[in-house]
Amino acid sequence: MDYDSNSWIWEGVYNHPHVLGGLMVTAALLGLSTSYFGGMTHSWSNLGIFPKKRSGKRRVRVYMDGCFDLMHYGHANALRQAKALGDELVVGLVSDEEILANKGPPVLSMEERLTLVSGLKWVDEVITDAPYAITEEFLNRLFYEYNIDYVIHGDDPCLLPDGTDAYAAAKKAGRYKQIKRTEGVSSTDIVGRIMSSLKDQKAREDLNGTDAKPQEESKPKVSHLSQFLPTSRRIVQFSNGKGPGPDARIVYIDGAFDLFHAGHVEILKKARQLGDFLLVGIHSDETVSSQRGNHYPIMHLHERSLSVLACGYVDEVIIGAPWEITKDMITTFNISAVVRGTVAEKSLYSERDPYEVPKSMGIFHLLESPKDITTTSVAQRILANHEAYVKRNAKKAQSEKRYYEEKTYVTGD
């Protein structure tokens, strides 16, 4: 296509990306890979449609901090927006001690949170043990030691125990920029979902290591509904927008990827090292429920898909991938290797090996999982500290309510 003679077409694509996004999400919902559109999307930057930052100027470095506990797509979207405000994104990871003092006990350790944050495609650098409140002293370190130009945070309140704004110093210095909070999810919300799903005694027994098969029910239980509304635009924002090369070695790995955690990141990293292109199959909510019990998944299909897409080791996902890998699927996606980690959730009902076909073809590989963390073990931590997390959630809800009430009173809205 001649760009110059068809500039009005490409201007339309640029100004209205949701049109292409609609095609991509439709393909995804039909179980197709969005890489079918790679031929169209990967050439956009070559055509100069999306403006590139000037290489002659000093690169703008932006800083965003957080606890990033129970990492979810809302965190990922916040960091994506922050990266868009500069050239390099530096992330400050609040220490376990600071989280405990200001919010309550963290679910994930510093090491696990570091794995999750550093594995995101938009993150360039991570500062560990960052303070919960940005003091003038730490702000000077950011400006002069790390060459930070702007401090970024969402439009939701971040309050200290005394009710003051944690970002007051950055705002006072005129080096603060704000992004929009991703509605429909938060770590507090996810803890609530987990606790709600575990009210069923059978679910508690499963988490305690019982092998007894739960009684089957006519309909899956939905004890805590997600408020997330997926859009084609959000999927496009998280996607790489390009498919594999003609001779690429495509590696396939599948799973639920529920409560996306450090174990997921590490096995995806290991899988990616086996080829040129990593294709990830994400099982549907119905498939996860049928294999693991009606109290799963905690996160819904499109939430889980965005979390996986945000990982820097992932090139493409199949949304709603089949449980059993067929020869037709391997041929369609030109898969060279199918892999699985040694650490995985137990299937309660599967009577047939879902990897039977790739094993018979000699392309199946069992990878040693670098970490033994699972979705169940994360849920167990929250269950074991039930009272502490209930208090933590209530504390945050009260502080946010007080903040918004005072804001309404001052502004007169």
Six token digits for residue 319: 């949304």
> Is 95 part of a structural domain of the chain?
yes
* 175 and 262 assigned to the same domain: no
Are 164 and 242 found together in one domain? no
- Say yes or no: 99 and 163 in one domain: yes
Mark which of 179, 202, 220 sits at the end of a domain: 179
Tell me how crowded residue 77 is: count the other CB atoms within 10 A of its CB: 22
Q: How many domains does the chain have?
A: 2
Per-residue pLDDT of 356-373, as tens digits, reads 999 999 999 999 999 999
Distances (CA, A) of 8 to 13, 202, 236, 277, 330: 9, 60, 22, 33, 39
Do residue 162 and residue 241 come from a single domain? Answer: no
pLDDT, tens digit (0-9, with 9 covering 90-100), for 14-46: 444 443 444 344 444 444 444 444 443 333 334
75 and 142 share a domain?
yes
| Within a domain: 225 | no
Q: Does residue 384 belong to any structural domain of this protein?
A: no
Domain assignment of residue 371, yes or no: yes
29 within a domain of the structure (yes/no): no
Contact indicator for 361, 337 with CB cutoff of 8 Å: no
**Does residue 140 sit within a domain?**
yes
Mention every residue, 6+ apart, whose C-beta is less than 8 A from residue 97.
none
Q: Are residues 131 and 257 in the same domain?
A: no
**Are residues 175 and 278 both part of a single domain?**
no
**Residue 205's pLDDT band (cuts 50, 70, 90):** low
The side-by-side arrangement of strands in the sheet containing 277-283 is 316-321, 277-283, 250-255, 335-341, 364-367
How far is residue 175 CA from its own chain's centroid?
Answer: 28
Same domain, 239 and 367: yes
Instruction: Please state, in angstroms and rounded to a whole number, the distance separating the CA atoms of residues 315 and 327.
Output: 22
Residue 217 in any domain: the answer is no
Range in 13-22, 91-100, 128-137 the model is least confident about = 13-22
Residues 148 and 276 in one domain: no
The reply to whether 7 falls in a domain is no
Asked whether residue 152 falls in the same domain as residue 261, the answer is: no
- Pair 165, 253 in one domain: no
Residue 182 near residue 158 (C-beta atoms within 8 A): no
* Amino acid residing at 80: R
Q: pLDDT per residue over 279-330, tens digit each?
A: 999 999 999 999 988 889 999 999 999 999 999 999 999 999 999 999 999 9
Cα–Cα dist 244/62, whole Å: 31
248 three-state secondary structure = coil
Give the range of the structural domain holding residue 342, as residue numbers without chain letter. Answer: 232-375
CATH for 303: 3.40.50.620
